[in-house]
């Protein structure tokens, strides 16, 4: 299944899906398929598939197909992220305890520029809206859930032996330094008509400090989601959450996930009011997953250090995504919230 991987929904034919499902160990023959766009992904497309099988089949009649879309240049830029997500579902998902969608089958090209995942359709759960943000209760539920990602692989050296799961090196810093400043300049130009002084200062701080931050030795590391925000969470009517979009997984300081979540998905007032309590609940969940010798005070320090995740992902994410009106509003809203968090919690960073 590494060749002829669709990059358009119309190429997800019954014949091709049959081959994909059989490659995943499912004895199924798809006779008819209808695809409907769902979600608001910035780097890949997601489609709800209504499936009709030949004869009896234990598989669900609805799945979600996630695939690389857009021009070849964009897909090539996102190839590392696509590899990450396929790798997560194939090898890492079974080693953690975070709520996620079941994956029925996957395909990945040799270049990584094309992929398809067939996932559980989580409807009637609804996707979060990054622009609107989430409530403090929803943020608390996500933070507790993602402790099930961080805790099971906490300081697990075997994690670093997985493909692509190495900690940053001097070469990584050199590469990032070579692209971060020009990408930040491009971001400034794209959003020049709406950047405030505080937001511009956050971009200055990012460029000035990201290199040192990237290679600072870690006291603790775990597997990170890397893009933990409400657009990447499905909310069920009973309040339970399922985390989606695993393209940015990486080992690192796990509080980067929590800092990115609270710093970009809560309003500034809600974050200031609730972040200490949410951090305490997250810390308690880590302990329940077996983490030891990690104090709440250290957790709070790591949270402040991890706030650089927000402008970093915003700058790189906006550069990788296809420009859209919603996307531009989302990235600017995230930067506005993140700049306030950095100003509140990293003394002297933006003044």
Q: Give me the domains of the chain, ranges plus CATH numbers.
A: 9-120 (3.30.200.20), 126-345 (3.90.1200)
Read off the pLDDT of residues 2-60 as tens digits, 9 standing for 90 and up. 568 999 999 999 999 999 999 999 999 999 999 999 976 667 899 999 999 999 999 99
Residue 279: its pLDDT value, please?
98
Name the band, by pLDDT with cuts 50, 70 and 90, for residue 320: confident
Name the band, by pLDDT with cuts 50, 70 and 90, for residue 70: confident
Give the CA angle between residues 290, 294, 295 to the nearest 5°.
125
Structure tokens at 332: 């600017």
Task: Report helix angle 268-288 to 296-305, nearest 10.
Answer: 130
Q: How far apart are CA 320 and CA 318, in angstroms?
A: 6
Read off the pLDDT of residues 144-177 as tens digits, 9 standing for 90 and up. 999 999 999 999 999 999 988 999 999 999 999 9
3-state secondary structure of 297: helix
Q: Looking at residues 233-255, what average pLDDT do you find?
A: 96
Structure tokens at 14: 């019954």
Portion of the chain with pLDDT greater than 70, in percent: 98
Residue 322 has pLDDT above 90, yes or no: no
Contact 311, 338 (CB under 8 A): yes
Residue 77: its pLDDT value, please?
84
Residue 289: its pLDDT value, please?
98
Contact 165, 250 (CB under 8 A): yes
Contact 70, 327 (CB under 8 A): no
pLDDT, greater one: 193 or 3: 193
Portion of the chain with pLDDT greater than 90, in percent: 92
pTM for the whole thing? 0.94
Contact 313, 42 (CB under 8 A): no
Name the band, by pLDDT with cuts 50, 70 and 90, for residue 347: very high
Q: Looking at residues 245-270, what average pLDDT do you find?
A: 97
Residue 306 has pLDDT above 90, yes or no: yes
Q: Looking at residues 285-301, what average pLDDT do you find?
A: 98
Residue 235: its pLDDT value, please?
97
Structure tokens at 120: 């559980």
Residue 188 has pLDDT above 80, yes or no: yes
Residue 323 has pLDDT above 90, yes or no: no
Residues 6+ apart with CB under 8 A from 54: 29, 30, 31
Residue 219 has pLDDT above 90, yes or no: yes
Residue 258: its pLDDT value, please?
98
Residue 271: its pLDDT value, please?
98
Residue 228 has pLDDT above 90, yes or no: yes
Residue 44: its pLDDT value, please?
87
Q: What is the DSSP string of 36-49?
A: EEES--SSSEEEEE
Residue 288 has pLDDT above 90, yes or no: yes
Q: Beta-strand (E) ranges in 44-164? A: 45-53, 62-67, 103-108, 115-120, 126-127
Bridge partners, 119 (sequence order): 64, 103
Name the band, by pLDDT with cuts 50, 70 and 90, for residue 319: confident
Mean of all residue pLDDT scores within the chain: 95
Residue 1 has pLDDT above 90, yes or no: no
Q: Beta-strand (E) ranges in 12-112? A: 30-38, 45-53, 62-67, 103-108
């Amino acid at each position: 299944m590494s060749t002829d991987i669709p990059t358009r929904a119309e190429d997800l034919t019954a014949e091709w899906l049959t081959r994909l499902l059989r490659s995943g160990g499912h004895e199924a023959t798809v006779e008819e398929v209808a695809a409907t766009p769902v979600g608001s992904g910035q780097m890949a497309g997601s489609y709800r598939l209504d499936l009709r099988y030949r004869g009896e089949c234990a598989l669900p009649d609805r799945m979600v197909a996630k695939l690389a879309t857009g021009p070849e240049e964009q897909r090539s830029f996102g190839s590392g992220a696509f590899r990450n997500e396929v790798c997560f579902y194939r090898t890492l998902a079974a080693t953690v305890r975070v709520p996620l969608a079941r994956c029925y089958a996957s395909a990945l090209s040799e270049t990584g520029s094309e992929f398809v995942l067939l996932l559980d359709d989580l409807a009637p759960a609804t996707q979060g809206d990054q622009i609107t943000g989430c409530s403090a209760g929803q943020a608390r539920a996500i933070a507790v859930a993602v402790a099930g990602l961080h805790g099971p692989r906490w300081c697990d050296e075997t994690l670093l032996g997985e493909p692509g799961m190495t900690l940053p090196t001097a070469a990584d810093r050199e590469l990032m330094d070579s692209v971060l400043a020009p990408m930040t300049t491009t971001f400034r130009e794209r959003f020049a008509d709406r950047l405030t002084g505080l937001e511009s200062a956050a971009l200055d701080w990012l460029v000035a400090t990201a290199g040192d931050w990237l290679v600072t030795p870690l006291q603790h590391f775990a597997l990170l989601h890397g893009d933990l925000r409400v657009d990447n969470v499905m909310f069920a009517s009973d309040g339970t959450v399922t985390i989606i979009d695993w393209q940015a997984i990486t080992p690192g300081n796990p509080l980067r996930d929590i800092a990115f979540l609270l710093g970009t998905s809560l309003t500034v007032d809600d974050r200031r009011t609730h972040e200490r309590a949410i951090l305490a609940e997250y810390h308690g969940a880590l302990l329940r997953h077996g983490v030891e010798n990690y104090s709440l005070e250290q957790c709070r320090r790591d949270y402040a250090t991890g706030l650089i995740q927000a402008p970093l992902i915003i700058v790189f994410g906006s550069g990788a995504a296809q420009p859209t009106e919603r996307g531009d509003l989302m990235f600017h809203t995230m930067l506005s919230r993140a700049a306030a968090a950095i100003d509140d919690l990293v003394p002297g960073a933006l003044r």
